[in-house]
Amino acid sequence: MFKSLLLKGRVLCLLLCCMVSSLVVTAQTKHTGRVTGSDDKLPVVGATVRVKGSTIGTQTDVNGQFTLNLSAGDVLVISYLGYKSQEVTVGTAETISVVLQAGSNALNEVVVTGYTTQRKKDISGSVATVNIAAAKSVPSVSSESLLQGQAAGVNVVTQGAPGAAAQVFIRGTSNFGNSQPLYVIDGLQSTNMSNVNPNDIESISVLKDAGAAAIYGVSGGNGVVVVTTKKGKQGKTQISYDAFYGTTQPLQGNVFNTLNADEYEQLLNKVAPDNPLIKGNNGKIYDYGYQNGAGAKGYFNQADAANFLPNYHLDNDPALDYLIQKFVKGQGTDWYHEVFKSAPIQQHTISASGASDKNSYFMSLGYTNQQGTLINTYFKRYQARVNTSFSVKDHVRVGENFSFFYVQSPNGGGGLGNGGNQNEGNPISETYRTLPIIPVRDVAGNLGGTYAGTADLGNALNPVGIQERQKTNNTNLWGLQGTAFGEVDFLKHLTARTAFSADIANRYYYNIGYRQYDSGEAHGGNNQYNEGSLYETNYNWSNTVNYKQVFGKHSINLLGGFEARSYSQRSINASTNNLFSLDPFFASISQGKPSTTTSNSGYGNLNKVLSFFGRLDYVFNDKYILGATIRRDGSSVFYTGQKWGTFPSISLAWRASQEDFLKDVTWINDLKIRGSYGTSGFNGNVRRNTAYSTFGTSAGGASYPIDGSINSVIAGFFNNSTANLVTTWERDKVFNVGFDASLFNHIDLTVEYYKKNVDGLLVQVPLAATVGGSPSTPPTINVGAVENKGFDISATYRGKSGGLTYNIGANITTVRNRINNLGASFTAVGVRNGQVVKNDVGGSIGQFYGYKVQGYWNTQAEIDALNASVPAGPFGAIEYQTAAAPGRFRYADINGDGRITDADRTFIGNPNPDFTYGVNLNAAYKGFDIAAVFYGSQGNDVYNSIKYWTNFYGSQTGNKSRDLLYNAWDPAKTPAQNARAKTPIAENANNFSTTDAINSYYVENGSFLKLRSVQVGYTFAPSMLKSVGVDKLHVYVQGTNLFTITKYTGADPELQSIDQNSVGVDLGNYPNNERRFILGVNLSF
């Protein structure tokens, strides 16, 4: 019995031990893990983590972390949209690290938006991202040009001067002043990104609608471009060297289709046989021209040279000059190619980067040297950047992103002498204004020009002389840009961040103004010296608290913030005349004649903004997305009671592809439908003293001889600007709807419709002269409304065939701009024969306005018949059209009143394109790669003001178009032939029916397609490089602007705005379609 009980007890103990042992084996322990993405190394927020074969699971938090009770041997399945699902077997370690591999589509792409980052799939607003690799395939000195053709909704207008900034318009032109977007560079809010090294840029996002941009309130009305520079990445330290060297070729051929010397002689004989250049010389241009300080001037031939040449003398005193030049015959002087020559361009960047679990760094040094094809133009820039971040503790981070740059150029980046780009007096314009018979050098080797002869040589300046006198022009710019920040994680789901950003620039210039002895108009002028400096500061201090939480099917991202911005500038300048010596080491303000010395200083454009803002991003079940923002801004430029504005927005998105009814549709990888509406503001077109009437003084405007004696002038004051106490924010109301789709595992497609209404447009309205004040500073008032609407479409196809990988990207943007309300119409862009642009209700911003040309008058009889049909006035007969004659313009009677008056003027052209587009092609095969970038604009008109100078003999003395000699209206031709004439009759006349009116003759089709770049490269195999310690070596050759397809007859149809956002007027533009050939290298080790 006892033995039996003992046996049973032993069995029971054994069973009990087995049970305990089993419990020990199957006991679960607490495990923590962290999930990051392979593409960006950032935490994956909201990833699903579940135990395979069970219902146990959770989601990662804001730091990508999760906690679960697990047993060794459990298999975890981690999944997140846009990444490949991954299985991980739990081991004995209590910490689990998971790196999800990025999927084939772009849903997982992290996009930097307003004060935060979001994955593309979670964005409900309109945000376009720029393919940096494709953008950089077009060499850029000014980084704004990287955007051209790379993002739907973004129109970028460039010009070719070295260092010139691009003009960027997001979804069209919104006002009559500043329509440029806000640039946010690593948190620094700026007006441009020109001096950001393209090789330092990691990503560019463009915020286009209110749902995305309203978080920036007052600054976001024209859209926002968010630029993020590179950071160090985990792994060993990497050293990179990126460089290219190339040459730019000027445009070839007869760029402005002008006459050579012999052809000009023919034109003189045809139109002006009594011109002193040929009169008395059997219709031949004389061999020489001369003029002296006493006023004697004229022409002579080689036979009389011995009587004149010994008299040559160039003196410091213009009255003692006796200048002689020998005219160029035959082909004459090709002025365009005298000043445009092949020029080198080079850019070098060396960088070092690295990171650990706690710290990261990125440092770079850059050098750019762009020599302009226009002689003596250049742009040199030296750059340095340091980006660092440090984890002080597990939840405390500090860092900075700072860059320094130093720029040298003759007239500032993109600047030209004599009025700048797009000016009738700049050296480019002078190439078609200067006669081909004038030599570059006179008989003594000094500059030839319009002085040595009579006024029949015109008033143009020698273009070579203009540029040679630029050699001593120096403009230096120093700048510091960047952000210092600190972040603290607290209470598990909250992050506080403070960031101070600064943009400090100091511009210093000095130049010598040489006496223009070669000029017929300016010959008697004095030499001059100018010197000045401008100091600018731009600060923004941003403070935010961010709450991120994922629970169940809910994901919340809540941001609240406070921000202060301040901008100010200070300037000083001085000038003096009559320097004894023009040696650059001698010339200074103190060396001029004291009585001619003037100086000025000022403190201007003080502008401060205080802001409070909030943002909510909510996602339910990874399907339904809500975004909402609100911002309240207060600005110092408005009067009390008008300073504050509130700008809200809301956006919604539905990820339809996550619904059950679409999950079996295999060709739809992702489909998101979204819409937004909101309000943003703008105050960029307001003077800092708009709220106050101000008074100033000037020698010419406010000094009076109280006692009547000219020697006792007393300084006074005058009202130089008038206040408007009710001026307030311009409000931009933006509606946006569209969808994002990933299809067939290869295609990403985005289609959007937008409508932007700008109310309370800020416009300076001129006052009656009786009000007083300076006409250049009228008050700014809220008047008018503008509407922009259109479509943005972008598509990318990615494919692979064997060893060949390729992708094709395309985007297109349509814009319809309309002025819906305006207090009073006004004109802009003044040229020699009037104002080209009229802004009025029903038209578009910058639309051309003038008389519509129906053709040419063919006979005097048809003119007489129409004159007879016009009732006589109180002072006698009235002409149907003033100065009408055969071969001159015939204008359309728009209002049908039976005669041509100023009431018949109408809109004659629109510089705003119907659409712009870009195409990017990329392919790679076994180490070889090729890339091509196309950019085009369709439906835009150009007002070719150059025709005023070249296509009419009577306009201004200067060179003329070959069409005027060979293709003009001719009484000997039939009406059918004359209907195809390219110019009116060649005659020595200047009147309403020829050159004195703005009309449609000057308007041309400005549509174009440019092959912006073709690049072919080769990447060496790592096995070939390992022995020399190199990780990567990529070499490439590149050609840019290989062709431009256009019907425009000028140099380049791509024309920047001149005045009041009026693009498309050609006054002598530095072309940006010059061919460039480059050899480049990308090296890392």
What is the per-residue pLDDT for 304? 97
Note the pLDDT tens digit of each residue in 175-216.
Answer: 888 888 999 999 999 999 999 999 999 999 999 988 888 888
Annotated domain spans of the chain: 29-100, 110-232, 252-339+426-460
Confidence at residue 11, expressed as pLDDT on a 0 to 100 scale? 45
Span of 92-106, 614-628, 1026-1040 with lowest mean pLDDT = 92-106
The fraction of the chain above a pLDDT of 70, given in percent, is 95
Lowest-confidence segment of 228-242, 404-418, 567-581, 805-819 by average pLDDT: 404-418
Mean pLDDT of 658-669: 89
What is the predicted pLDDT for the residue at 700? Answer: 63
The predicted model gives 617-638 an average pLDDT of 93
* Percentage of the chain exceeding pLDDT 90: 67
The pLDDT of residue 108 is 61
- What's the pLDDT at 719? 77
Residue 49 has pLDDT above 60, yes or no: yes
Which DSSP letter does residue 327 get? P
What whole-number distance in Å separates Cα of residue 751 and Cα of residue 672?
11
Is residue 318 a contact partner of residue 515, using CB atoms and an 8 Å limit? yes
What's the average model confidence in pLDDT over 612-641?
Answer: 93
Q: Look at residue 694 in the predicted model and tell me its pLDDT.
A: 79
Most confident of 8-22, 47-61, 401-415, 960-974: 960-974
Q: Indicate if the pLDDT at residue 1 is higher than 90.
A: no
The pLDDT of 572-585, averaged and rounded, is 92
Expressed in angstroms, the distance from the first to the final Cα of the chain is: 85
Cα angle, residue 204 at apex, residues 791 and 674 outer, rounded to 5°: 40
pLDDT tens for each residue of 885-939: 999 999 999 999 999 999 999 999 999 999 999 999 999 999 999 999 999 999 9
Q: What is the 3-state secondary structure (H, E, C) of 807-825?
A: EEEEEEEECEEEEEECCCC
**Under DSSP, is residue 887 helix (H, G, I), strand (E, B) or coil?**
coil
Question: How much is the pLDDT for 310?
Answer: 97
How many residues appear in the chain? 1085
Between 492 and 447, whose confidence is greater? 447
Alpha-helix runs per DSSP H in 541-679: 660-663
Q: How confident is the model at residue 710 (pLDDT cuts 50, 70, 90)?
A: low
Sign of the dihedral defined by the CA atoms of residues 105, 107, 108, 114, in that order: positive
Which pLDDT belongs to residue 22?
Answer: 40
Distances from the Cα of 140 to the Cα of 111, 160, 566, angstroms = 23, 11, 30
Q: Is the pLDDT of residue 21 over 90?
A: no
Q: Give the pLDDT band of residue 523 (cuts 50, 70, 90).
A: very high
Instruction: Kindly report the three-state secondary structure assignment for every residue of 977-1038.
Output: HHCCCCECCCCCCCCCCCCCCCEHHHEEECCEEEEEEEEEEEECCHHHHHHHCCCEEEEEEE
Short-list 925, 671, 931, 933, CA closest to 810: 933
**SS3 state at 220:** coil
Q: Out of 401-405, 431-435, 713-717, 870-874, which region has the weakest mean confidence (pLDDT)?
A: 713-717
Q: Could you tell me which residues come within 8 angstroms of residue 704 by beta carbon, excluding any fewer than 6 positions away?
A: 713, 714, 716
Structure pTM? 0.89
For residue 482, list its beta bridge partners. 402, 502
CATH H superfamily, domain 29-100: Carboxypeptidase-like, regulatory domain (2.60.40.1120)
Q: Which pLDDT does position 224 carry in this prediction? A: 92
Identity of the amino acid at 584: P
Q: What is the pLDDT of residues 312-360, one digit of tens each?
A: 999 989 999 999 999 999 999 999 999 999 999 999 999 999 998 889 9
What are the tens digits of pLDDT across the range 936-955? 999 999 999 999 999 999 99
Please report which confidence band the pLDDT of residue 133 belongs to, taking 50, 70 and 90 as the band edges: confident
Instruction: Read off the pLDDT of residues 831-849 as tens digits, 9 standing for 90 and up.
Output: 999 999 999 999 999 999 9
- For residue 118, the model assigns a pLDDT of 81
Mean pLDDT (the chain, rounded): 90
Of 434-438, 641-645, 1025-1029, give the range with the top mean pLDDT: 434-438
Contact (CB, 8 A) for 809 and 919: yes
Average pLDDT rounded to a whole number, residues 158-183: 90
The span from the CA of 495 to the CA of 116, in Å, is 11
**What number of other Cβ atoms are within 10 A of residue 831's Cβ?**
16
Q: What are phi and psi of 596, to 5 degrees?
A: -100, -5
Q: What mean pLDDT comes out for the span 663-688?
A: 88
Q: Which amino acid is residue 689, in one-letter code? A: N
Domain 110-232 in CATH 3.40.50.2300? The answer is no
* pLDDT in the model for residue 8: 47
Cβ count near 645 (within 10 Å): 23
- Phi first, then psi: what are they for 265, rounded to 5°? -60, -40
Mean pLDDT of 695-700: 72
Rounded distance between C-alpha atoms, residue 290 and residue 1055, angstroms: 39
State pLDDT tens for residues 719-776.
777 888 888 888 899 999 999 999 999 999 999 999 999 998 888 777 766 665 555 5
* pLDDT (mean) for 404-432: 88
Which residues are CB-contacts of 19 (< 8 A; sequence separation ≥ 6)?
Answer: none
Residue 204, C-beta contacts closer than 8 angstroms, at least 6 positions apart: 129, 130, 132, 135, 146, 147, 225, 226, 227, 228
